[in-house]
Structures are given as C-alpha cells and as structure tokens.
C-alpha cells in the first residue's frame, strides 16, 4: 500500500516563525510537542516513553532516527534541572556513536538546524 505525503519545501521553514515559545513559561510537554513536530516535519522516526513510571529512571525523553543518525534528546524547561539519573544516561550515551542533546526552549533555532 502506497502512502502519499505532501511535499514540504524544508528550506522555507523557519522555527522562529513556526514555533512561538515563551521561554519563561513553556512547559516541558509543550516544548516536547514542538520538537516532535519539527522532527516529524524533517522525516525523523521518534520514540518517547509515554509512561516512564515502570522504566529505568533517567532515560532521555526522545530517541530520533533518520538515515544513519540517532539522536537521544533530554528536554528541559528553562528552569528545569537534570537529575543524577539523567546525567548518567547522557554521559553513558555520549561515549557511543550516537548524538546526545540536552535541549531547552531557548535552543529551538539550533534544534531546527540539527533536525533539518
């Protein structure tokens, strides 16, 4: 079965116009939604554990895969703090061949560039 997708001129996308984030009041859930929208727009496969209560603590919020790239991204609000468990995961992943990111709403333009 063939899937039809609308073609998007990705060079015309500007995250600052597409994603209006109030840096001081954006909730992590809303920020994550914005990152997921961008990732989907640029053709990334995305995994997120929706209910992490039964998972090992600290695993990054998003895993994104496209072509030969894998990104593990921990998302935080501007005031959000990385836990010790999250630090351990990010440090361990950073020793591998994958990309590891800690992103905040103020990084939205950089995020768009990384995902492009």
Tell me the C-alpha distance between 32 and 104, whole Å.
10
CATH no., domain 18-50+57-115: 3.40.1350.10
**Angstrom distance (rounded) from CA 54 to CA 31:** 23
Boundaries of every domain in the chain: 18-50+57-115
Give the model's pLDDT for residue 4: 36
Alpha-helical regions (H) of the chain: 15-18, 28-41, 84-94, 108-115
User: Would you place residue 38 in the very low, low, confident or very high pLDDT band (cuts 50, 70, 90)?
Assistant: very high
Residue 17's pLDDT is 42
Backbone angles phi, psi at 50, to 5 degrees: -75, -30
Over the stretch 42-97, which tens digit does the pLDDT of each residue have?
A: 999 999 998 888 889 999 999 999 999 999 999 999 999 999 999 999 999 999 99
**Does the model's pTM come out above 0.85?**
no
| Mean residue pLDDT across the chain | 86
Question: Which of helix, strand or coil describes residue 12?
Answer: helix
Q: How many CB atoms lie within 10 A of CB 81?
A: 7
Does the pLDDT value for residue 11 go beyond 50?
A: no
pLDDT at 109 over 70: yes
């Amino acid at each position: 079965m063939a899937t039809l997708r609308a073609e998007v001129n990705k060079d015309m996308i500007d995250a600052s116009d597409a994603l209006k984030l109030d840096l001081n009041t954006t909730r992590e859930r809303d920020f994550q939604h914005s990152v997921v929208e961008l990732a989907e727009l640029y053709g990334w496969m995305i995994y997120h554990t929706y209910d992490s209560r039964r998972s090992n603590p600290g695993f990054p919020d998003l895993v994104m895969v496209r072509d030969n790239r894998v990104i593990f991204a921990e998302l935080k609000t501007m005031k959000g703090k990385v836990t010790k468990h999250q630090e351990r995961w990010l440090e361990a992943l950073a020793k591998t061949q994958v990309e590891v990111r800690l992103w905040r709403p103020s990084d939205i333009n950089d995020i768009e560039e990384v995902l492009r």
